[in-house]
């Protein structure tokens, strides 16, 4: 589509949020001129996003509500039905039943884009390099030197969303607050099978105020840790040092990793309800609106970093708001207002998970809960 025929909507990022929004709009609004951009090629040998790939019961429920059943080929043979919570400082541990699905993350993404209806134009291997408002819409530069135009722009770029940063910088101040919610997730993949199908969540205040994980996969074991980005920027321990310390502490608890790992890292948000950012309205209420979904908006659990259910739910809410406006001229302000209404419960959910996190990540309260054995096997 050339410069003179702008898209109605461009979605940046084909992760769980972006591909869900594109699928729902392509199905329900067949005349919408819709483009989904993804910087990765999403071929079978593509780099996976750094992720545990665990499908929580909430995420499975939303897929079911959308009448989607992930094919068996997406799942690993070892489903971690229990989580072992391990306090590395006291050595105390408890196992909690949690029926997670153990997914191949890349296979999940490939499956989600395979469901896109034909009217969605999907461009894998095409990054959005920059954007700016133009007239009643947006002008976007993409990686093959092309300039595209659209009325509405959606960021489904994940935690490092450039569109969100740009919009927040225009409205002043919020970006700095979000920096406090940014974490660096480092994940090592060891080419060895873990002896147990249990998934471990470990805690130690000297490593992070969040948590680390050991997840068994087919033919590999993942060891990951989410650490506050501000601490490593302030000249604290390097991420490599924190990971080495975690490995040494885990070894004392019988977790030995022999082989050399492959390391990946990415940003992770850990929001408060205040860190959510849904977007900006349009110019004179018309075009030029921009919206954020999934982790770009801050939709992710601040207690567990579970993000699939929030990515699906926020994409569904925005699809509902756009569907309402589809025949009425796609007024950006109305879409934003509808999206806000459609995510009220999700916002409450984030606030509730924030409270839960305060208890879970207080070493004193966590020790009390683990000692009480509440909910444990
Ligand atoms: C280490 C780690 C482990 C996690 N484990 C789990 C887990 O086990 N279970 C769970 O439910 N959640 C987990 N999460 C959270 C989950 O991965 C995210 O919340 C979820 O993937 C968010 O989906 P999204 O679509 O919003 O963003 P993302 O999945 O981040 O997708 C963003 C997409 O946008 C693309 N993109 C970015 N910039 C551009 C650009 N400029 N142009 C074009 N494309 C672009 C990216 O390539 C990517 O495909 C984990 C997160 C991390 C960091």
Q: Where are the alpha helices (DSSP H) in the chain?
A: 16-28, 57-65, 105-114, 162-171, 174-180, 229-233, 239-251, 308-325, 332-342, 344-360, 363-372
Ligand 1 midpoint to CA 267 (Å): 9
Count of CB atoms situated within 10 Å of the CB of 94: 19
- What pLDDT score was predicted for residue 258? 82
Residue among 162, 49, 164, 163 nearest 112 (CA): 49
Domain that holds residue 118: 7-52+104-180+274-357
Ligand 1: does its nearest atom lie under 6 Å from the Cβ of 305? yes
376 in a domain, yes or no? Answer: no
Q: Which of 12, 107, 101 is nearest to 54 (CA)?
A: 101
Examine residue 259 and state whether it is found in any structural domain, yes or no: no
CA of 302 to the centre of ligand 1 (A): 15
pLDDT for 119-169, tens place per residue?
999 999 999 999 998 888 999 999 988 999 999 999 999 999 999 999 888
In a domain, 94, yes or no: no
Q: Report the atom number in ligand 1 closest to the C-alpha of 109.
A: 49
Quote the number of domains for the chain. Answer: 1
CATH at residue 112: 3.50.50.60
Label residue 23 exposed, middle or buried (CB < 10 Å: 0-12, 13-18, 19+): buried
What parts of the chain have a pLDDT lower than 70?
Answer: 1-5, 78-80, 172-179, 232-235, 283-287
Residue 175 falls within a domain, yes or no? yes
What is the structure's pLDDT at 170? Answer: 80
What spacing in Å lies between the alpha carbon of 14 and ligand 1's midpoint?
A: 9
Ligand 1 near 18 CB (within 6 A)? yes
**Closest to 221 (Cα-Cα) out of 183, 260, 185:** 260
Q: How far is the CA of 48 from the centre of ligand 1 (A)?
A: 10
Within-domain flag for 15: yes
| 224 C-beta closer than 6 A to ligand 1 | yes
Per-residue confidence (pLDDT) for residue 224, from 0 to 100: 96
Ligand 1 pocket, 128 CB below 6 A?
A: yes
Residue identified by tokens 């492959």 is: 262
Residue 85 Cβ contacting ligand 1 at under 6 Å: no
**What is the reported pTM?**
0.94
Q: 264 to each of 11, 31, 313, 316, how far by Cα in Å?
A: 25, 40, 27, 30
188 falls within a domain: no
Q: Decide: 40 in ligand 1 pocket, CB within 6 A.
A: yes
**pLDDT for the residue numbered 2:** 44
Residue 30 lies in a domain: yes
Q: Residue 368 CB: number of other CB atoms within 10 A?
A: 12
Residue 150 lies in a domain: yes
Q: What is the pLDDT at residue 202? A: 97
Tell me, in angstroms, the distance from the centre of ligand 1 to residue 295's CA: 7
């Amino acid at each position: 589509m050339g410069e003179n025929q702008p898209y109605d909507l461009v979605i940046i990022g084909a992760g769980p949020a972006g591909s869900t929004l594109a699928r729902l709009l392509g199905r329900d609004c067949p005349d919408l001129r819709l483009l989904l951009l993804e910087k990765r090629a999403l071929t079978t040998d593509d780099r996976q996003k750094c992720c545990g790939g665990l499908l929580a019961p909430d995420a499975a429920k939303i897929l079911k509500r959308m009448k989607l059943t992930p094919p068996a080929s997406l799942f690993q043979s070892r489903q971690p039905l229990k989580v072992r919570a391990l306090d590395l400082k006291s050595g105390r541990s408890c196992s909690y039943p949690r029926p997670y699905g153990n997914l191949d993350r890349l296979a999940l993404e490939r499956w989600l884009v395979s469901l896109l209806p034909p009217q969605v134009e999907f461009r894998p291997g095409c990054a959005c390099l920059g954007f700016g408002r133009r007239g009643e819409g947006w002008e976007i530069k993409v990686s093959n030197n092309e300039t595209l135009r659209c009325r509405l722009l959606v960021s489904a770029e994940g935690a490092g969303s450039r569109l969100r940063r740009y919009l927040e910088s225009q409205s002043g101040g919020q970006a700095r607050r979000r920096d406090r919610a940014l974490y660096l997730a480092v994940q090592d993949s060891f080419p060895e099978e873990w002896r147990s199908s249990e998934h471990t969540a470990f805690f130690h205040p000297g490593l992070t105020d969040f948590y680390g994980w050991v997840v068994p996969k087919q033919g590999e074991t993942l060891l990951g840790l989410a650490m506050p980005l501000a601490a490593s920027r302030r000249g604290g321990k390097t991420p490599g040092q924190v990971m080495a310390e975690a490995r040494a502490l885990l070894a004392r608890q019988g977790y030995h990793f022999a082989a050399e790992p492959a390391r990946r890292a990415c940003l992770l948000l850990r929001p408060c309800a205040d860190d959510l950012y849904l977007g900006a309205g349009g110019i004179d209420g018309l075009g030029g609106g921009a919206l954020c979904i999934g982790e770009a908006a801050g939709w992710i659990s601040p207690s567990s970093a579970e993000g699939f259910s929030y990515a699906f739910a926020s994409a569904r809410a925005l699809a509902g708001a756009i569907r309402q406006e589809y025949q009425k001229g796609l007024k950006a302000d109305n879409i934003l207002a509808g999206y806000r209404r459609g995510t009220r419960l999700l916002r409450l959910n984030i606030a509730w998970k924030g409270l839960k996190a305060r208890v879970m990540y207080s070493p004193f309260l966590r020790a009390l809960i683990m000692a009480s054995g509440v909910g444990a096997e």
